[in-house]
Each structure stands twice: as structure tokens, then as C-alpha cells.
Structure 1
Amino acid sequence: MSVRKLVRKVGFGVGLGALLMAGAALGHAATHPDDLSLSPVTVNPVPAAPSSSEFPDAAMSRNDQGDITVLRLDGIITPGAERNFVDALRALPARRPLVIELSSPGGFTAAGYRMIDAVLAERQGGRPVATRVRDGDSCESMCVGLYLAGYPRYAAPRAEFMVHAPRMAENGRMTIRSIQMMVDRLVSLGASPAWIQRVTAEGGFSGARDYRETADRLSADGANIVTDLLR
């Protein structure tokens, strides 16, 4: 499907090591009325996670196609990537339709949550914003939340998505609070509570595994992650 067709519709309408918690309190997670019970997580102490400066910022590119812009983010979500992303959004003409193309193993949740908020603010201000993951690309960890911030959400059938339990940047540990915050955030952005419960039951937020599904499988499962499969 061409970018023009994508945005015409918009106008009417362990990965990186984990989701690194660089400041859990910065995510404005909306609590969903459904009670998603999570069993306590016991984690052995691990070495402190590297600082954000040890990760390369995701590459950012802008491609203007007529009256539509495609912003592609390729790589790790870091504070530097966040700054570049927000600057790119601010540089766009008001209400210009936008497609955000993602290929990322995830990154720092504080930066990711702010990027999500920036996308939501653009949409609330009247800008059509779609997200897309191409064939051969993957959207993992924090990237899934950023992908959910757009609408519609396009993906190639074999594009891969991954969610898992977040870890604290300072010490590599998981907390029930950070897991619940991330789960609530995914649901507030549109992920199906029934799918979240299924992932939880299969250990996807336990810290024991990375939960992966292709876009076509997510669509079949009613996850409401991918809204439109690319053909």
C-alpha cells in the first residue's frame, strides 16, 4: 500500500536487554478498569545496566512525499533519539499528515513514554499520524508502545513484535509497579486487555521470556496492536 493511500486513510479516521526503566514515574500510564493480576516476580540481583550514553541513538530519517511525511526511526530508543524525534515533529508544518516507520529493539522507557506523549499531542492537535512496520523489520519492547501511539497502525504480515517485563536502568531489576505501569500504558493505547491477559498467563511479563508474535498472528489473535496488514 502506498504512503499516500495510508495517510488518506489516516486523515479519515532478551531484545535490547529489556525495556530499560530510566525513570518509571515519567510514564503517564492510564489505569484500565480491567484488573490485570500479575504474580510477584522474584529476580536474582544482576549488574547495573549501562547508562544511556553507552547505547547508540536510533537513526532518524525524513522523507517528504508530496503532502505527506515519513519519519523512520531505526535503532535504540534513547534520550538522544527522543530529542531528535521531538525536534523532527516540531519541524513539520502544522497538520501535515505523518507516517512513523519503526524498526527498533526498544530502549529506555522514560524516553519512550515522552515520545508516545509527543505523538499523542500531535494527533490531539489535528495531525494525522499513522505508524508502520515493514516486512523484515521488528518492533520490540518500548517500540511497541510507540507503535501503538499512532492510528491506523500498519504492519507487514511477517513483521515481528515483542513485549516483555521492563527492567530498571539503575540495577537491571524488575518491579511489580514498573510492570503494571507498562501493561496499563499498552492497554490505554489500545492493546486488547484479553490479549494482555493471555500474554501474562503465558509468562510474557514474568521476566522469564520475551513474548513474540508476527503481525498476522496478532491480527488473528484480536490483540488490536496491528489495525491493518500491508499486502
Structure 2
Amino acid sequence: MSVLALVRKVGFAVGLLGVGLGALPMADAATRQTGIAVNPITINPVTVNPAPAAAPATAYPDAALSRSDQGDLTVLRLDGIITPGAERRFVDALHALPARRPVMVELASPGGFTAAGYRMIDAVLAERQGGRPVATRVRGGESCESMCVGLYLAGYPRYAEPRAEFMVHAPRMAENGHMTMRSTQAMVQRLVSLGASPAWIQRVTAAGGFSGARDYRETADRLTADGANIVTDLLR
């Protein structure tokens, strides 16, 4: 079955997702996704030396955004850092498309600013709720890291080639480089509410992936084998 056919097949199945995910409690979000109630996941960051304060968003180059129309499917490729400027161009590009035209969002990003990324997630979910099929994809040899993973999870289906790499970690505040339990918990809640397996989240937590001490990386084929529900369709 072609990618476009798969996008159409499940692109309208948006009932489990809503807009404005920050208000969802973790247990409720996991129940919505799996039908099984789970206990809230406790994140306990370790004490680490704070990173230097980040430069303002304007100091970072915006991710490049390109559009390619392939028959009746539009591919929007985001390549680079998620910034407020990249967010505005991405949302404008979505809104400029004909109503209900299927979209494939292709990602290659080291992440970026959480506020911009969360607004992009909400924009994708709003498009899906309005009836537009929006899938996501990461190609082999490319990576989707940090905030990019949340954006990837906002689409459905979620395609990746086996050697595509994904990375999650505890976010740091742009203003001072500090990591907080609240911001980490909020990010984890979003990952679960978007479909990430609570059991996988627990494994990442146990491995220190949300502690602030390490970046947790897995390839798409490993995520699939682990039942993470990050990648829904592994491309061969």
C-alpha cells in the first residue's frame, strides 16, 4: 500500500487526540490512548551542573521549510532548529493548503524552543481534527531530537526508515539553562498523550533519559521492537 493510501486510511482517526494537550493528566492521557489506566509516571531529575543560559531565539537560524506537491499529497519538510520563525512559516504553510489535502510532514531536526514546538503540535492536531490527514516521516540517516519528537508524534501514521534516529531528554529553560521537574513532567505528559507507550516512557525514565544527565537515543527499528509506539509504520 502506498504512503498516500496509508495516510488516507487512518488520517481521519483523530478521536483519541485533542488540542491543548498541556491540561491532560498523564493517567487520563494514557487511558485515552490504550484503554488501560496507568499510574502517573514520576520523573526525578538528578542534580547536574546547569548549562549556560541559551541565546535568544533570534540568535538561532530557523529551520528550513520546503514544500513539494506529489500528486494529491503535499510534503512539508522541516530541516533544522524549531524556532518561533520556523513555527510561523510552518503554520502558515499548513493553513495555505486546500482544505483536507493530505500532508506528509518530513522532519530532520535537533529540536528547539518548547513554546514554538508546542504551538506547532497544536496546529497539526487542529488540522487533523478539522479533517486533514497529516502523517509524519523521518528518513534513514536523519534524526528527530528533543522537541522534534513531540512534533513527530502529532502526526498519524508516523513513518520512519529503520536507521532513523530519535532522541528524548529533559528540557532546559531557554532563559537560564536550568532543568525543572515541572517542565520535564509537562513534556512527558505530552509524549504520552500523543501516543508514546507508558511502558516505554518508564524504561526511558529508569535509564535516566529524563534525568538531565543524558540524552536517550534509539533508532526507529529499535523503537518498533521495544513497542514504544513512537513509529507506527517502519519503512523497509
TM-score, length of structure 2 as denominator length: 0.89
- Name the aligned partner's letter for residue 85 of structure 1: F
Deviation digits for residues 44-78 of structure 1, max 9, x if unmatched?
Answer: 34432111011100000000011110000000000
Q: Which one of 205, 208, 212 corresponds to residue 203 of structure 1?
A: 208
The 1:208/1:45 distance shift into structure 2, 3 A limit, reads: closer
Match of 1:78 among 79, 83, 87: 83
State the 1:172 CA deviation: 0.2
Residues 1-231 of structure 1 mapped to structure 2, 5 A cutoff: 5-13=2-10, 28-33=22-27, 34-231=39-236
- Structure 2 unmatched ranges of 5 or more: 11-19, 28-38
In 2, are the aligned partners of 1:166 and 1:178 still within 8 Å (CA)? yes
Contact kept? 2:24, 2:193, Cα under 8 Å: yes
Post-superposition offset of 1:92: 0.2
Give the aligned CA root-mean-square deviation in angstroms.
1.3
**In terms of mean alpha carbon deviation, does 33-42 or 77-86 score higher?**
33-42
TM-aligned CA distance change 1:214 to 1:138, over 3 Å: same
Cα distance in 1 for residues equivalent to 2:125 and 2:77: 17
1:156-214 Cα shifts (integer Å, max 9, x gaps): 00000000000001100000000000000000000000000000000000011000000
Counterparts in 2 of 1:83 and 1:123: CA distance versus 1, 3 Å: same
Does the CA contact (< 8 Å) of 1:162 and 1:210 recur in 2?
Answer: yes
3-state secondary structure, aligned to 1:168: coil
Q: C-alpha separation between the residues in 1 aligned to 2:51 and 2:138?
A: 33
Identity of aligned residues (%): 78
Where in structure 1 are there 5+ consecutive unaligned residues? 14-25
Q: Is the 8 A contact 2:76 2:103 kept in 1?
A: yes
Structure 1 distance, partners of 2:45, 2:136, is 34
SS for the counterpart of 2:26 is: coil
| Stretch deviating more after TM superposition (82-91 or 38-47) | 38-47
Residues 112-154 of structure 1 deviation map (CA, whole Å, 9 limit, x = unaligned): 0000000000000000110000111100000000000000000
Q: How many residues align?
A: 216
What is the aligned partner in structure 2 of residue 17 from structure 1? none
Query: What amino acid sits opposite 2:134 in the alignment?
Result: V
Letter in 2 for 1:89: L
